[in-house]
Structure 1
Amino acid sequence: MSNSLVLSRRSFLALAGSVPAMAGLPVIARASETPRDILWEDLIPNADERLQATMNRLGVVQHGGAPAQTSDDYGKDLVKELIGQNIRIAGYIIPLDYEGVGVKELILVPYVGACIHVPPPPPNQLILVRTEQPYDPREMFEPVHVAGTLGILNETNDLAEVGYSLQADSIAPYQ
């Protein structure tokens, strides 16, 4: 046998999994990895919009009334670096479908009353969550932690325009 290196498929996969930057291959989040905790402000790329979202969430109203949205694109910019990442975020749920045993699709919002009051939060402050395991909420707008893989979703429904999606690995009451 020659001195060349021969790798079985199993050896190659084990090696590739242990060296994330190997040959420039993308790193794929694994369900077993601890999700990265993020805040709602982390979903906004623009610093001025981050400040406005924080003020809205805290109930701060400026003397001039509601902030003027300077364009139709307000809140549509997304943080693309987070896409495909395993994240965990706290928020409030708006169930979209209830099947008697729980919900499999919901909108996660940053504050109580979002999407019910007008106007709704901007798209980069709304996440459409889908889960294989139904989650049985105790109440509308229940505070929860949701963990899973973040994606981009450009969808408008009866409540609002949603910018992000999340395939949930877990939904748990906020603690």
Structure 2
Amino acid sequence: MRRLACLVLLLCCTLARAETPETDWLELMPPEDRKALEEMPEISHDTPEADGTFDQQGGLKQRDKNLPAVMYSAKTVAALDGKQIRLGGYPVPLETDAKGHSTLFFLVPYAGACIHVPPPPPNQIVLVRYPKGIALDDIYAPIWIEGPLKVEQVSNDLADAAYAMDAGVVRLVEEGDL
């Protein structure tokens, strides 16, 4: 009996430590948006940003009004609302605490999204609230976020996001994760 109790305890501890499976960014897009993205023609990068000169406004908001509609899409996947997920991406810091740790940031699928053309659509941007804060010394270093995803429209001067998360875990991606 004692041995069975130990095995049950070991199994419970192992399950408790198991990471939430990774969610792919494309899972945040409804099927019709994924299809439209796959069929989208190549986008020109002949812009001032590509030449190293940047628009004063910058940010993640779509400024080119001639892109396919999928690049402006805020359509979400309702089944993800409230679902515990783990998502990897790159931070765009918004707010820091007294220690300089980021407590509010956007997570985007690729590094430098705030200066690349075009920025991701709103359904590929997640606003992350993390009161514990994380030191983000390099915004080109990928991070993991984990917590319940919310379908929540967020708009500010920098970006429009279709999702948000009150993250329970935020950490840098480590070599062992790859």
* TM over 0.5, shorter chain: yes
Deviations 1:75-107 (A, max 9, x none): 211011011011000000011012333011000
Cα distance per residue 1:113-150 (max 9 Å; x no partner):
21333442111000000012111112123200110110
Percent of aligned pairs sharing the same letter: 32
The equivalent of 1:50 in structure 2 is: 34
Q: Give, in whole Å, the separation in 1 of the partners of 2:157 and 2:44.
A: 26
Q: Is the partner of 2:68 in helix, strand or coil?
A: coil
Deviation per CA, 1:6-58: give whole Å up to 9, x if none.
xxxxxxxxxxxxxxxxxxxxxxxxx98842320100000134x32565799xx
Q: Which residue of structure 2 lines up, in the alignment, with residue 165 of structure 1? A: 164
Tell me the TM-score normalized by structure 2.
Answer: 0.66
CA distance in 2, matches of 1:103, 1:75: 27
Residue equivalent to 1:35: 20
Query: In the TM superposition, what are the counterparts of 1:19-168 in structure 2 within 5 Å?
Result: 34-47=19-32, 49-50=33-34, 62=42, 65=44, 68-70=67-69, 74-99=72-97, 100-168=99-167
Q: Which has the larger radius of gyration?
A: 1
Residues 98, 149 of structure 1: CA spacing in aligned structure 2 closer, same or farther, 3 A cutoff?
same
- Write the letter of the residue equivalent to 1:84: G
User: Residue 74 of structure 2 aligns to which amino acid in structure 1?
Assistant: K
Question: Where does structure 1 lack aligned partners over 5 or more consecutive residues?
Answer: 1-30
Distance 2:17 2:24 in 1: 21
Give, in whole Å, the separation in 1 of the partners of 2:152 and 2:118: 20
Paired residue secondary structure (2:34)? helix
Gaps of 5+ in 2: 1-15, 46-65
Amino acid at match of 1:105: L
Distance 1:149 1:116 in 2: 28
1:65-84 residue CA offsets vs partner (Å, 9 max, x unmatched): 4783248x942110110110
1:50 alignment partner, SS class: helix
| TM superposition shift of 1:165 | 0.2
Moved more, 87-96 or 147-156: 147-156
The whole-number CA distance in structure 2 between the counterparts of 1:55 and 1:143 is: 28
Normalized against structure 1, the TM-score is what? Answer: 0.67
User: Could you say what secondary structure the match of 1:97 adopts?
Assistant: strand
8 Å CA contact 2:113, 2:119 repeated in 1: yes
Whichever residue aligns with residue 111 of structure 1, its letter is Y
Whichever structure has more helix as a proportion of its residues is 2
Over 3 Å counting, the alpha-carbon distance change for 1:109 and 1:46 in structure 2 is same
